[in-house]
Amino acid sequence: MKQGPPLQESDISISCVVNDSLVQVDQVDVNTSVLYFLRDHLNLRGTKEGCGSGDCGACTVILSDLEGDDPSYYAINSCIAPAGVLNGKQVISVEGLAIGETLHPVQQAMVDCHGSQCGFCTPGFVMALVDHSLKPDVSSQCGYADVVSAISGNLCRCTGYRPIVKAGMDACARANPKQFVPTDDVRAGLLSGLKEERGEQNYLAPDTELELAQALANPLPGRSRLLLAGGTDAWLEVTQNLRSFDQVIDLSKIKSLTQIDESHGRLAIGSATTQTQLLEYFDQDPSACAHISAFLHRFGSKQVRNRATLGGNLCSASPVGDWSPLLLALDAELVAASLKGRRTISIRDFFTGYRKTCLGADEYLASIEFELPADWRAVQVHKVTKRFEDDISSVFLALNLHLDGLKISGLRIALGGMAETPIRFFELEDFLQGQRIESLDWAGVKNLIRSSLSPISDVRASSEYRSAMVYQLIRTTLLNE
């Protein structure tokens, strides 16, 4: 990894393709988001900020890694992505859709179907629908439910969804992804520009785990740093908590951290694996798991899933992080790494308090590993939220259930959204072990939940509601077996 001369300020250089043009900009503050790089540095103001937290989709843009002759494209929330992620990539904003005076099919359909009211959210909806239209199999995904799913990460304050959905159904099969592929000259100019980058110590994007470990072992004296992969949670420190960092370390280019490997009956998932990659894995045989797939479809929006990582979900140590109770039910082990070597940590010991983990300052989470279930149907998850999609859990229940006939022969129960850290419910596991489902002591289950759990109360749910929901979810799950 090339090291440039030290800079006095937290500046970086950006070399990327914006729409169909090569862009090279110096002196971009490392705390700048993709959104404000487009708006303030390039004066492309079609991309809007609605929430600043990746919840409304008004800031949606499309990225491409420009790999191969026919690169793939994916939508992201530009408000929670650091501008440094653009280096070496192409970003498409709403200004780059039309060809001359001819609107993109999605734009034209929005006009024809009167899909815009106040117009503030319109660019985000357009970009989400363009992203959907670029799917290779989009001709078979033009139905109402397909389009609703495609825009599930976008909010319209005027509630004008019906004409937007109609526009998406009309347009989704008419886009041409090749219209966005930059020319060879533009690509060549991008590669040339990358060679001139400077300020890399302010935005480190290592290619290998060794480079990452070296960076963590040698922090810049007196300078704050932020470690991220997708940034869908970590970047909220900048947008919501208004913090500024001197250095950002981006894990997303380290290929070894984005692998999913099955070997000797165990599954190892790299910490920088995205939720989109995980959804693809759990959607397909032989690893298909209906419960995990259903939960992942509700994990944020597609814009969030395209960047949010498994390791980020764990290392944020959020009490409402959905993967932590699921991995507790799978009795997972986490592999932490540094220049000193690697160590294996039981997920039961990983969380040490609210938003705290046992990782050292010089360590990073390398992988998440667990034994593959003999049958993925044993793994069940239930996510309770106020809003069905793109919402934080009030209660998250994960079970790993094994039966011998109708007798419970093995059981792990884990809960999220209940306390400062996720909970492995050992007391209830011991109580239910060996019991027959048709004769379970439900009064005993209810009493044990009341005596063993002390759920939090907050704006999402009261303590009493959370306890009642745990009981109802467990009862419903077991009685349906």
pLDDT tens string 8-22: 477 999 999 999 999
Question: What percentage of the chain reaches a pLDDT higher than 70?
Answer: 96
What does the block give as tokens for 315? 């290392």
What pLDDT does 195 receive? 52
Angstrom distance (rounded) from CA 256 to CA 348: 25
Angstrom distance (rounded) from CA 399 to CA 408: 12
pLDDT at 45 over 60: yes
Give the pLDDT mean for 345-366: 97
Name the pLDDT band for 1 (thresholds 50, 70, 90): very low
DSSP letter at 97 equals S
pLDDT at 25 over 90: yes
Cα within 13 Å of Cα(116), Cβ side: 17
Angstrom distance (rounded) from CA 325 to CA 321: 8
411 burial via Cβ count (<10 Å: 0-12, 13-18, 19+): buried
Strand locations in 321-461 (E)? 333-338, 341-346, 351-353, 356-357, 364-371, 379-384, 395-404, 407-416, 423-424
Angstrom distance (rounded) from CA 167 to CA 65: 28
Give the pLDDT mean for 358-365: 97
pLDDT at 66 over 90: no
Residue 266 dihedral angles phi and psi, to the nearest 5°: -125, 150
What does the block give as tokens for 100? 């001359």
pLDDT at 2 over 60: no
Angstrom distance (rounded) from CA 104 to CA 132: 13
Angstrom distance (rounded) from CA 450 to CA 466: 10
Q: Which CATH architecture has domain 378-479?
A: 2-Layer Sandwich (3.30)
What pLDDT does 7 receive? 44
Kindly list the domain boundaries of the chain, sorted by start residue.
11-96+180-250, 105-174, 255-371, 378-479
Type of residue found at 218: N
Give the pLDDT mean for 237-266: 95
Give the pLDDT mean for 62-79: 90
pLDDT at 191 over 60: yes
| Sign of CA pseudo-dihedral 196, 199, 204, 208 | positive
Angstrom distance (rounded) from CA 322 to CA 299: 8
What does the block give as tokens for 130? 């363009």
Tally Cβ neighbours within 10 Å of residue 18.
Answer: 24
| C-alpha angle 129-132-136 in degrees, rounded to nearest 5 | 150
Report the topology of domain 11-96+180-250: Ubiquitin-like (UB roll) (3.10.20)
Give the pLDDT mean for 354-366: 97
Name the pLDDT band for 164 (thresholds 50, 70, 90): very high
Question: What percentage of the chain reaches a pLDDT higher than 90?
Answer: 83
Give the pLDDT mean for 9-37: 93
CB contact set of 85 (below 8 Å; sequence gap of 6+): 34, 63, 231, 250, 252
Give the pLDDT mean for 177-199: 72
Name the pLDDT band for 198 (thresholds 50, 70, 90): very low
Angstrom distance (rounded) from CA 208 to CA 297: 31
Q: Which CATH architecture has domain 105-174?
A: Orthogonal Bundle (1.10)
Question: Could you report the per-residue pLDDT of 295-352, keeping only the tens digit for each?
Answer: 999 999 999 999 999 999 999 999 999 999 999 999 999 999 999 999 999 999 999 9
Give the pLDDT mean for 2-8: 43
In CATH terms, are 255-371 and 378-479 the same topology?
A: no
Give the pLDDT mean for 31-42: 98
What pLDDT does 194 receive? 66
Strands 407-416 and 333-338: unpaired
Q: What size, in residues, is the chain?
A: 481
What does the block give as tokens for 286? 């032989």
Angstrom distance (rounded) from CA 20 to CA 299: 32
What is the pTM assigned to this prediction?
A: 0.93
Question: Could you report the per-residue pLDDT of 122-148, keeping only the tens digit for each?
Answer: 999 999 999 999 988 888 889 999 999
Type of residue found at 13: S
Angstrom distance (rounded) from CA 467 to CA 218: 46
Name the pLDDT band for 201 (thresholds 50, 70, 90): confident
What rounded mean pLDDT belongs to the chain?
92
pLDDT at 158 over 60: yes
Report the topology of domain 255-371: 3.30.465
Closest by CA to 85, choosing from 244, 306, 368, 280, is 306
Query: Sheet harboring 333-338: ordered strands across?
Result: 260-263, 266-270, 364-371, 333-338, 341-346
What pLDDT does 387 receive? 84
What pLDDT does 118 receive? 93
Cα within 13 Å of Cα(234), Cβ side: 25
Is the pLDDT higher at 194 or at 336?
Answer: 336
Name the pLDDT band for 92 (thresholds 50, 70, 90): very high
